[in-house]
Amino acid sequence: MSTLFVLLAFRFYLCYDRYAFLETLLPGGCVNQDKYNALRINVGFLLHQSVGYKRKFEIDESFVQIESDLDVYDLFGDITFTRTSQGLYSQSDMTARTPLECVRCLSKYDQELTIEINDLFVHPPQKETDPLLSIPKSGIVDLTNLVREYLLLEIPIRPTCGVGCKGLCQICGKEQSEGQCDHPQTMIDPRFEVLHTLLSKA
């Protein structure tokens, strides 16, 4: 058994893809995702394919800390890269959950997020190309910051735990969805009646 055969067999074993043996002979050809970060994907082999060739990558992570201020749970979906004359066109649908605080009752809850990505990753990169949408020489695309931007756009400005949330009592602080408070309602200064009505609808 020649040394070359052993090296090729080992390369094939590392790539975890029985359909990609020939692709492993090309630069950036190991068809896999970073086991520590599913959003880091080796797409270098696609750059050696003809226009129209595509490959789908599955995303299924129970927890991803995208940034110190954004924790994401159950990130699920897939992303397909299609070879074009300008680079790789990406199409993706992903769902995730992130913990937020309700502006009405101040309780913690999980906000469902759904994002759709349709972007062109340019290769070779141009000076005016967005760094998030360019393919480096290594052939590894890191989607972390791009996914972060899409997720942040989906987070509501005034997050609420549910449509039926009534918020907290302005007098005792009890959550109003749990039932009526025991204390009598205090008189509202007529000058602030309109403001009180607006706050009760928030």
Cβ atoms of 78 and 57 within 8 Å: the answer is yes
pTM of this prediction exceeds 0.95: no
To the nearest whole number, what is the mean pLDDT of the chain? 79
pLDDT in tens, 106-155: 889 999 999 999 999 998 877 777 888 989 888 999 999 999 999 999 99
Q: Is 92 exposed, middle or buried (0-12, 13-18, 19+ CB in 10 A)?
A: buried
Percent of the chain with pLDDT over 90: 44
Among candidate residues 49, 154, 141, 53, the one with its CA nearest the CA of residue 98 = 154
pLDDT for the residue 89: 97
Residue 177 has pLDDT above 70, yes or no: no
